[in-house]
Amino acid sequence: MTSYSSLITTSRDRAGNDPIFIWNGEARARAAAGDDILNATIGALMNDDGTLSSLPTVIDTLKRLTTSAVGGYAPISGLPSYREAVVRDLFEDGPLASQATAVAAPGGSGAVYAAVVNFLDIGQKMLVPQFFWGPYREITNHSGRGLDPFTMFDEDGAFDIAGMSAAIDRHLETQGRVLLVLNFPCHNPTGYSLTDEEWTRVTDVVHQAGQRGPVTVLIDAAYMEFAGAESRSWVPHVPRMLEHATVLVAWTASKSMAQYGSRLGAIVGLHADPDELAQMDNALGYSARATWSNCPHLGQLAVTQLLTDPDLAAAVTEERAGLMTLLQNRIDAFNSRATTLGLPTPRFDAGFFVAVFTPDEDATAAAMRKLGVYVVPIPGAVRVAVCSTPESTIDRLTSALEAGLAAVR
């Protein structure tokens, strides 16, 4: 055997797995060995019996559409009907629909990737709030870009819009362009959703900054449907952003249709200038061809029907409402105990996760593991996947969080 490594330097010593899957793996191994484990690391909505929640209408539709035809390739940018259905899902028949294009992508992850490689040059950085979905780091790093987090919360626990504004100014000065990610509503990992007033103020900043250079706002809407009536609270702010900026939306069926493994998403681009929109559409299609080539044909057909057939859409909404009730009961129980115990958390109205702040996330998570409770340590906090913890376990979960925080005081 030779001693040469053919791997290029930057590909050596890479973590082959997401840290979340590593903690999840350890929790499962201990449970299989007979330990009494509470696993709050899993980022998927689970039933109280530990099985994956699903939407029967989605499964039936996938089964019904499984024919030989779906073995054929879908178009590079996605089935036209799918692309149209995604745009209508977000903007209905409103004026934004005519300023938007959707290009199929393998989940929200693919959408984020497409945004990064088309709206940042190599060497430039993407702006994210300080608490962020971990893979933003890998996606930007892997493509020769980088990540630049800004302080997320101000002293009052509200979104730090002044910090965001300063970061935008800095990027305009230092790299001549901005790609800002806003993963709202139901931010992963904190659980925070922007209020309407916060969206207005964010929009004001974008409106101002976009007059000084190219500014792109990527709304990562992965958990949008779980915000209920607030799911599209950001949409009314988009027209004002578009006066001077580009808006992208990372759309995914992973959570909204409980189809994490089907890899069904889209990158939606919005621009006020039709020529620029056509440029964006071509660029996003080019990225698809150059990476995943095309997206699952069966899933695109299914999602199209599920979004556009009124009976199917109503059934999905009703079934999802059942899952939202399951989740909301857990959130209410969590918030009530967090208040009693004085756990430091952001406002948490909806979504899969909440963050509990800690000065030493590794020590807090380690102390919790001793109690058999698994959460994910992230810089400055531990992430608690309420989506995978039954309501009956919330007392144990919050007591472990209290103990985990006491261990670092």
Q: Which is nearer to ligand PLP, 254 or 335 (CB)?
A: 254
Closest contact distance (angstroms) between CB of 264 and ligand PLP is 8
Q: Which is nearer to ligand PLP, 134 or 372 (CB)?
A: 134
Q: Which of 36, 54, 49, 10 is nearest to 319 (CA)?
A: 54
294 vs 407: CA distance, rounded Å: 49
Closest contact distance (angstroms) between CB of 193 and ligand PLP is 13
Closest contact distance (angstroms) between CB of 340 and ligand PLP is 29
Q: Which is nearer to ligand PLP, 265 or 285 (CB)?
A: 265
CA Rg, the chain, in Å? 21
Q: Give the C-alpha distances (Å, rounded to integers) separating 333 from 94, 187, 295, 314.
A: 38, 19, 39, 29
Q: Which is nearer to ligand PLP, 108 or 346 (CB)?
A: 108
Contacts of residue 219, defined as CB under 8 A and 6 or more positions apart, other chains included, come to 182, 183, 184, 234, 247, 248, 249, 250
Residues that bind ligand PLP (CB under 6 A): 43, 107-109, 133, 183, 188, 220, 222, 252, 254, 260, 265
Q: Which residue has the tokens 């499984």?
A: 66
Q: Which is nearer to ligand PLP, 374 or 405 (CB)?
A: 374
User: Beta-carbon neighbour count of residue 123 at 10 Å?
Assistant: 9
Closest contact distance (angstroms) between CB of 378 and ligand PLP is 12
Q: Which ranges of 176-229 would DSSP assign to H, the alpha helix? A: 196-209
* Pairing mode, strands 265-270 and 353-357: unpaired
- DSSP secondary structure code for residue 153 in this structure: B
Q: Closest residue (Cβ) to ligand PLP?
A: 107
Q: Which is nearer to ligand PLP, 258 or 397 (CB)?
A: 258
Closest contact distance (angstroms) between CB of 212 and ligand PLP is 28
Q: Which residue has the tokens 């103020």?
A: 201
Closest contact distance (angstroms) between CB of 44 and ligand PLP is 8
